Chain A
């Protein structure tokens, strides 16, 4: 595909409107795809980078819940080389039309409301992506597979342990990986192929189903409505197996764990496929003579006078003398005051941990990860040393 082609073979639509309420305070003011990850990234960097690396240069980002920061972050798409003459990244919030003032009422409805946008590029195929997973994937290979098996719809799947299968959308398949049944979070899973929230459709086929679904009494959801309807009509639906790193960062615990996974393999398979993001543009980080840093990721603008271990630090974090940061994810512009302690916690942007204050419990105690919302100020508790 040439960037100046007006007709695109395949374009991507990102579902970025969800709140991600299981992330608690982290998504009170921002949408889940805008949540900070791995020191320099936001979750949306993963699908955007994957698109760019897969040669998909037209991406619609459907936003709805708390979109300000997300819009600001995406900008004109320059950080992903998606500021193009034709295509590139387009932000697609819900909008009024004659006779309708609707919000996006479901994943399928969001795409339905943007049929005109998609048709401008006259695509053969539509890639529909959830924007809340951490993974590296070449969608081009998936598209080739989709064409090879002459599918109407291809769903990327991951083999999960059967005991976890009831947490996912599960695909029951025949020996050729053709999907015979789709079950959303089944109580008694018959299979262990979990949907990764990555779909490729023949656009002409999907468009028809979206229009029918819009008229029906429906949840307007891909998993609950569109896919079952297509299966009922005998459409060719196939599973596409993926065996790389993939993590749903939908909960506080899984977000913490995915950050820690970076410490074991910081590339997540991203060698030669650098993850693209908007960087803060600050000086390199400084570690003072009193500082100590072990098994940690640190990025620009940080100043470390205390000790940091098993942690991931975003830009502009100050750890003052005597302060300790252990097993934690520290987001942008956070100050950990003198002799402060942060253990097994996620601290959201612009938070201040006061002198001698303490956040979180040691991980060995076996409790849950402590999450502190953005712009918090944590003072030392009276009576504590």
Chain B
């Protein structure tokens, strides 16, 4: 057990969104062709030398556990430390709105109490960025802070603000207030959902909480404490994304077609993002294939046309099919001469021959998993 422990929280899906991953917790949602959102957090931790990681589970977590397993792919399958899951028990109290349960976080806190760990890094399991936490931890110590909150300066818009937490920060970098970005627009200090704090502060903040989401921790626990605790901001200047809806899922996946953003995420300062590896064959392009400005994962077979799209593992695109401005998740099948524009599919969707499915730039249309159209 080392000096630092990471605890990974995952927010449930917003109820009002018919999201691509409603069957699974947000941190298990697919991203950039072959990743799950939680890969970024786990990779950030191991790249920062932090190898004691607790994963707080609340609901729909089967695919998350299946993906992480023992943590082998992140070198986290170890005798000392590594991954610990904190699942809910049947006897835990329930909060109907969030289906979140107080048990897992309390049990994690209890487990932490008896360890030699001195600092807790509380992170959001569904945030996408590539960061070395060590300089932030150093800054935390130098500032003599109680809590250090990582943020990025970003544009927020009125519509997508409810899941977004923003900080009001003074000139000397102190966090003065914490609130959600609803009804805000323009540039704001957007929380990346990463808080560094000594163990005793963490235990104090989570004692008695009845939920385990990051959003509510920020707004209901940390926000009222900013006058009492020294909460400092730490700015992250790299690429970051928060997926919380069909629209953001689509938009951030599409951003991965930008080579600079891809470089800023996947190989930033030499830090790799690790994920579970499968035994897919390489992607195969047929003699009549046409592909432009697209990201294509292994196991795909492309006979038709693909333009401005993100194609996840094992997708098949038949002869004469045209896929434009789409995000197609694992094992989607587009049969011959079908046409898709501005669509986003979940895994295992089949679009039969000759179908024509068209969304709009302002409204990419989502097809839920295993649908046959």
Contact = CB atoms under 8 A, between A and B. Distances in A.
A287 B295 CA distance: 6
Contact of A274 (B35, B266, B281): B281
B282 A287 contact: no
A106 to B, nearest CB: 35
Given A294-B287, A300-B298, A281 B293 contact: no
Interface string A287-304: 111011111111110010
A306 interface: no
B179 interface: no
A283 interface: yes
Given A300-B34, A300-B298, A287 B281 contact: no
B184 to A, nearest CB: 32
Interface in B184-236: none
A277 interface: yes
Contacts of A313: 282
Given A39-B282, A266-B284, A287 B292 contact: yes
Interface in B272-300: 272-275, 277-298
A160 interface: no
A285 B295 contact: yes
Interface in A278-325: 279, 281-289, 291-300, 303, 312-313
**Main DSSP-derived SS at the B contact region:** loop
Contacts of A267: 281
A276 B72 contact: no
A300 B297 contact: yes
B323 to A, nearest CB: 13
Contact of A281 (B32, B262, B275, B283): B275
A33 interface: no
A78 interface: yes
Given A283-B34, A284-B33, A40 B295 contact: no
Nearest to A296: B285
A43 to B, nearest CB: 16
Interface in A1-57: 38-40
A282 to B, nearest CB: 8
B257 interface: yes
B298 A295 contact: no
A378 interface: no
B295 A283 contact: yes
Contacts of A156: none
A177 B163 CA distance: 72
A266 B295 contact: no
Contacts of A231: none
B279 A298 contact: no
Contacts of B33: 283-284
B283 A283 contact: no
A281 B262 CA distance: 15
A258 interface: no
Most chain A CB within a 10 A radius of its CB, from B266, B273, B294:
B294
B259 interface: yes
Given A283-B34, A283-B295, A286-B294, A277 B279 contact: yes
22 contacts: A78-B72, A266-B284, A274-B279, A274-B280, A277-B279, A279-B277, A279-B298, A283-B35, A283-B295, A284-B34, A284-B296, A284-B311, A284-B312, A285-B295, A286-B296, A287-B296, A288-B292, A291-B291, A294-B285, A294-B288, A297-B282, A299-B283
Interface of A: 38-40, 78-79, 263, 266-267, 270, 274-277, 279, 281-289, 291-300, 303, 312-313
Ranked 9 nearest A-B pairs via Cβ: A284-B33, A39-B282, A284-B297, A299-B282, A297-B282, A274-B279, A279-B277, A289-B293, A287-B291
Given A283-B32, A287-B293, 6 more contacts: A266-B284, A281-B272, A288-B259, A292-B290, A298-B282, A303-B259
Interface of B: 32-35, 72-73, 256-257, 259, 262, 266, 272-275, 277-298, 310-312
